[in-house]
């Protein structure tokens, strides 16, 4: 941090500043945290000329601040809950200590209104991560509480700019106000989609970026429901990392399937001439949807993709497949309905889903055993079987797993924390159980998570 104020250090490049209007309050006393992250009610103009009220956010106003830290750097964050309900903050993808993971009743008590809780986070891996509440999860995420967390490689890989893109929907009516955040009918199926797609809380934003420069686009799908394929039209673009882990060789940025919780780092070489554009497109059933425009400005920097160094690999252990024990998980309906459990972290009032026939409502205390107990240091194959006609992005906290095979399609041998399990698909993934604790394991379609599709795995 030599020669840099802490503020500059955390905020990083000016591109980050442009993407976030947040301000940080840093105190000078040793006892205060590096970062203050208040949870607040807010309002914002998402639909032109209509201020959306009853939004929830991190910080004072606008979209959640992008938090940046270096690989292995420790960062203390004071979360003060100014909401009139309980909350908790989870750092999605970080393989850090279980006590910092932010899951109610599993790793800590919910943060009551008016309370401050200190998190001490760090990451052994570099890459694009994000953060969100894990209490009253549907309400709080749907109303705005999703932010990006960037862990920087120790050395620059050669980009001129770095642009986080927080991609999500809001369920708003024509007047810009929230409509019901879910319907039970859809919660029992694919989940309830939003009505307005945004990038950094803006509809179809345009970013001015230097002509001929190399830009690292960091896409994070923080939406509660939407699965989609993304592509870049214009310029030259390659996928260089997925879910924070570098891909062995760059992939074309033409058909990037991302489900809730997933991320993609895309190297974009901006068009050469001023005024030319590259566009981020989401392909929906209704056709392509423009998400963001990157407009070339100024004299060309004349950079080329070949100027980029490959991203260093993260220190994830290779599972030992010959000695791995197989653990079976079946994602399905709830066998016999079941009663929703009330807790201060809220309930949607329904139980639809289960893992291995056990529903857990995720944010509730419960007499619930771990779905599996893994021995620290041993390798496991998780056999994920989807017994439903819906897709489920399956997310495991605190550990990275490797995609092995599917009975429906070829799978690239990538490490991830969130894998999209297609309808009726069976997928094998493998991991080394090298991080101790109780790790939440759930579908990242939040309505599914909140109505039973949750459990946890223990490493001891």
CB of 339 to ligand C2O, least distance (A): 23
Cα-flanking dihedrals φ and ψ of residue 187, to 5°?
-60, -30
Q: Which does 445 bind (CB under 5 to 8 A by kind): Cu ion, ligand C2O, none?
A: Cu ion
> How is 26-38 classified by DSSP, letter by letter?
--SSTTS-SEEEE
Q: Which does 450 bind (CB under 5 to 8 A by kind): ligand C2O, Cu ion, none?
A: none
At 381 the three-state DSSP class reads strand
Q: Which residues pair with 197 in a beta bridge?
A: 169
Q: Which does 143 bind (CB under 5 to 8 A by kind): ligand C2O, Cu ion, none?
A: none
CB of 340 to Cu ion, least distance (A): 17
Question: Please, are residues 163 and 217 in contact by the beta-carbon 8 Å criterion?
Answer: yes
Site string for ligand C2O, 256-285 (x = CB under 6 A): -----x------------------------
State which of residues 117, 143, 395, 450 lies at the interface with ligand C2O (CB under 6 A): 395
Count of residues that bind ligand C2O according to CB under 6 A: 10
Q: How far apart are CA 129 and CA 143, in angstroms?
A: 20
Cα distances (angstroms) measured from residue 284 to each of 56, 197, 230, 291: 27, 11, 9, 12
Q: How far apart are CA 262 and CA 285, in angstroms?
A: 20
The stretch near Cu ion (CB under 5 A) out of 20-28, 249-257, 306-314, 393-401 is 393-401
Taking CB under 6 A as the criterion, which residues in 430-449 touch ligand C2O?
440, 442, 444
Residue number with CB closer to ligand C2O (232 or 453): 453
Q: Two tokens at 183?
A: 């319907």
CB of 422 to ligand C2O, least distance (A): 20
Q: Which residues pair with 386 in a beta bridge?
A: 331
Please classify residue 257 by burial: count the beta carbons closer than 10 Å to its beta carbon, then call 0-12 exposed, 13-18 middle and 19+ buried: middle
Q: Which does 448 bind (CB under 5 to 8 A by kind): ligand C2O, Cu ion, none?
A: Cu ion
- Measured in whole angstroms, the distance separating CA 268 from the mean position of its chain's CA atoms is 21
Taking CB under 5 A as the criterion, which residues in 78-137 touch Cu ion?
92
State which of residues 168, 218, 392, 402 lies at the interface with Cu ion (CB under 5 A): 392
Q: How many CA atoms lie within 13 A of 83 on its CB side?
A: 30
- Of 59, 53, 70, 252, nearest in space to 156 by CA: 70
Residue number with CB closer to ligand C2O (397 or 402): 397
Q: Which does 134 bind (CB under 5 to 8 A by kind): ligand C2O, Cu ion, none?
A: ligand C2O
State which of residues 279, 303, 397, 448 lies at the interface with ligand C2O (CB under 6 A): 397
Q: Which does 430 bind (CB under 5 to 8 A by kind): ligand C2O, Cu ion, none?
A: none
Question: Please, are residues 407 and 103 in contact by the beta-carbon 8 Å criterion?
Answer: no
Q: Which residue has the tokens 């991302």?
A: 258
Question: Please, are residues 375 and 433 in contact by the beta-carbon 8 Å criterion?
Answer: yes
Q: What is the 8-class DSSP label of residue 307?
A: G
Q: Which does 392 bind (CB under 5 to 8 A by kind): Cu ion, ligand C2O, none?
A: Cu ion
Strand duo 147-152 + 256-258: pairing: unpaired
Question: Please, are residues 40 and 34 in contact by the beta-carbon 8 Å criterion?
Answer: no
Q: How far apart are CA 397 and CA 98, in angstroms?
A: 9
- Of 158, 176, 400, 118, nearest in space to 269 by CA: 158
CB of 393 to ligand C2O, least distance (A): 10
Residue number with CB closer to Cu ion (185 or 299): 185
First vs last Cα of the chain: how many Å apart?
36
Residue number with CB closer to Cu ion (279 or 392): 392
Q: How far apart are CA 122 and CA 76, in angstroms?
A: 9
Taking CB under 6 A as the criterion, which residues in 84-103 touch ligand C2O?
90, 92
State which of residues 163, 187, 443, 457 lies at the interface with Cu ion (CB under 5 A): 443
Taking CB under 6 A as the criterion, which residues in 35-94 touch ligand C2O?
90, 92
CB of 90 to ligand C2O, least distance (A): 5
Q: Buried b vs exposed e over 36-71: b needs ≥16 C-beta within 10 Å? A: bbbbbebebebbeeeebeebbbbbeebbbbbbbbbb
State which of residues 68, 96, 117, 134 lies at the interface with ligand C2O (CB under 6 A): 134
Q: Does residue 397 interact with Cu ion by CB under 5 A?
A: yes
Q: What sign for the dihedral angle of Cα 56, 190, 354, 129?
A: negative
Q: Which does 263 bind (CB under 5 to 8 A by kind): ligand C2O, Cu ion, none?
A: none
Q: Which does 165 bind (CB under 5 to 8 A by kind): Cu ion, ligand C2O, none?
A: none
Residue number with CB closer to Cu ion (245 or 397): 397
CB of 300 to ligand C2O, least distance (A): 39
Q: Two tokens at 308?
A: 């980029």
Interface positions with ligand C2O (CB under 6 A): 90, 92, 132, 134, 261, 395, 397, 440, 442, 444
Interface positions with Cu ion (CB under 5 A): 92, 392, 397, 443, 445, 448
């Amino acid at each position: 941090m030599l020669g840099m104020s802490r503020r500059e250090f955390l905020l990083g490049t000016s591109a980050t500043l442009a993407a976030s209007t947040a301000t940080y309050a840093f105190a000078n006393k040793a006892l205060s945290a590096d970062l203050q992250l208040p949870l607040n009610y807010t309002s914002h103009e998402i639909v032109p000329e209509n201020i959306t009220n009853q939004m929830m956010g991190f910080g004072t106003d606008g979209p959640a601040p992008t938090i940046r830290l270096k690989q292995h750097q420790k960062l203390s964050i004071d979360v003060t809950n100014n909401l009139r309900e309980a909350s908790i903050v989870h750092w999605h993808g970080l393989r850090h200590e279980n006590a910092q993971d932010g899951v109610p009743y599993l790793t800590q008590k919910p943060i009551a209104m008016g309370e401050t809780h200190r998190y001490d986070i760090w990451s052994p891996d570099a890459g694009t991560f994000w953060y969100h509440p894990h209490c009253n999860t549907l309400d709080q995420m749907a109303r705005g509480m999703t932010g990006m967390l960037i862990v920087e490689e120790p050395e620059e890989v050669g980009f001129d700019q770095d642009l986080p893109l927080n991609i999500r929907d809001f369920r708003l009516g024509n007047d810009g106000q929230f409509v019901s955040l879910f319907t039970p009918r859809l919660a029992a199926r694919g989940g309830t989609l939003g009505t307005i797609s945004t990038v950094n809380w803006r509809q179809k934003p345009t970013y001015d970026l230097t002509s001929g420069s190399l830009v690292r686009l960091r896409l994070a799908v923080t939406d509660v429901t939407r699965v989609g394929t993304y592509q870049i039209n214009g310029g030259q673009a390659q996928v260089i990392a997925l879910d924070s882990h570098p891909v062995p060789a760059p992939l074309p940025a033409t058909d990037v399937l991302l489900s809730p919780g997933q991320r993609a780092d895309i190297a974009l070489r901006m068009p050469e001439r001023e005024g030319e554009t590259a566009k981020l497109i989401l392909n929906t059933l209704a056709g392509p949807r423009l998400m963001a425009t990157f407009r070339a400005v100024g004299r060309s920097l004349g950079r080329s993709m070949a100027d980029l160094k490959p991203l260093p690999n993260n220190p994830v252990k290779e599972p030992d497949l010959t000695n791995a024990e197989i653990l079976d998980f079946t994602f399905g309906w709830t066998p016999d309905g079941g009663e929703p459990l009330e807790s201060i972290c809220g309930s949607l009032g329904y139980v639809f889903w289960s893992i291995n026939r056990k529903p857990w409502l995720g944010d509730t205390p419960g007499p619930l055993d771990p779905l599996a107990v893994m021995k620290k240091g041993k390798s496991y194959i998780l056999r994920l079987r989807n017994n439903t006609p819906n897709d489920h992005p399956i997310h495991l906290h605190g550990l990275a797993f490797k995609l092995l095979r599917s009975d429906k399609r070829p799978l690239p041998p990538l490490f991830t924390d969130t894998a999209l399990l297609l309808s009726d698909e069976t997928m094998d993934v493998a991991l080394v159980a090298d991080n101790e604790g109780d790790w939440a394991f759930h579908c990242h379609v939040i309505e599914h998570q909140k109505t039973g599709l949750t459990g946890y795995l223990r490493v001891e």
